[in-house]
Amino acid sequence: MNDKVPDATSGIATPLSLQVKELRRGAGLTQAQMAKRTGVGLRFVRDLEQGKPSVRVDKVNQVLALFGYHVEAAKDHETSA
């Protein structure tokens, strides 16, 4: 049994990280191949797929562009009281 508790920097799988991993695997790419094709480092790809909370959005979009996706900020709808 693994009793190690992850620290705040270890990353937690997120819907985005899981989606990226699924897209990569669906394309038959290794992490290294995806890093090379998208122009980001292998460490970044690993951090992204592991859900590291401090990845750069511009680099995330570099990776997602390979699959025809991107992320963007959207303003929440305000509710009136």
Q: What is the pTM of this model?
A: 0.75
Residue 57 structure tokens: 């959005």
The model's pLDDT over 8-67, given as tens digits with 9 standing for 90+, comes to 445 677 899 999 999 999 999 999 999 999 999 999 999 999 999 888 999 999 999 999
Q: Which domain holds residue 51?
A: 15-65
pLDDT tens string 4-21: 433 344 567 789 999 999
Tell me which H or E stretch contains 65: helix 57-65
Any domain includes 19:
yes
Contacts of 3 (CB under 8 A, 6+ apart): none
- How many structural domains comprise the chain? 1
CATH number at residue 59: 1.10.260.40
Query: Does a structural domain hold residue 37?
Result: yes
**Does residue 25 sit within a domain?**
yes
CB count within 10 Å of CB 47 equals 20
